[in-house]
A = this chain, B = another copy of it.
Amino acid sequence: MNGEGQIYVLSGPPGAGKSTIAARVRADMPDLAYSVSLTTRAPRPGEKDGVDYHFVSREEFQKRIAAGEMAEHEEIFGNLYGTSEKMVRQVLEQGQDLFLDTDVNGAESLRKRFADGVFIFLVPPSPTELERRLRGRGTEDEDQLAQRLGRVKYELSKAFNATYLVVNDDLDRAVAQVEAIIIAGRCRTSRHLKLLDEFQDT
């Protein structure tokens, strides 16, 4: 392996199955590092600062956004969540591969900062299935549903920017595909230049 680690980013619209798949991949590949997110949310009982999240004030978080330190961030129910570019780079510089899951906007931001990253986009199997999943929640009226569908369609348009597309019609297969993409990423020739040089030096 060469010095630098590789960043793998799993994204996709809500309901595509990101967190389920990310948890399975992390369990199967414990050598993948992750980056502890920053948040302005208060710690829940049992959560440890620096382990579950880096808990910071809203002022501190916004200062970091203004300084361009955040590789991606989003606001959920009034709390900010995000990834520090510096922390990601530190992990990569130690030669560790890093695996992140994030929403579509987060992946777009990361793509701008980590152009040689591996971006995996998770999609539902078909437009029909997408609508069925969104309807399945049963908590929205037709107007809200149409709005939500429009939003997801916009997010899906960002899939064209991803390196890889994984269709989540079968959970086991989707997990296997994400893992295959990570294994393949580790086989990229650019990651083995040192070994290739050794063959030429002897």
Instruction: Show the binding face of A for B, using Cβ within 8 Å.
Output: 120-121, 123, 126-127, 130, 153, 156-157, 159-160, 162-167, 176-177, 179-181, 183-185, 187-189, 191-193, 195-196, 198-202
Contacts and interface: CB of A to CB of B under 8 A. Distances in A.
Contacts of A183: 176-177, 180-181, 184
A196 B6 CA distance: 26
For the complex formed by this chain, how many copies does it contain in all? 2
19 contacts: A120-B187, A123-B199, A126-B195, A126-B198, A127-B199, A127-B201, A153-B199, A157-B200, A159-B196, A160-B193, A163-B188, A164-B188, A165-B187, A165-B188, A165-B192, A177-B184, A180-B183, A183-B184, A184-B185
Nearest to A196: B159
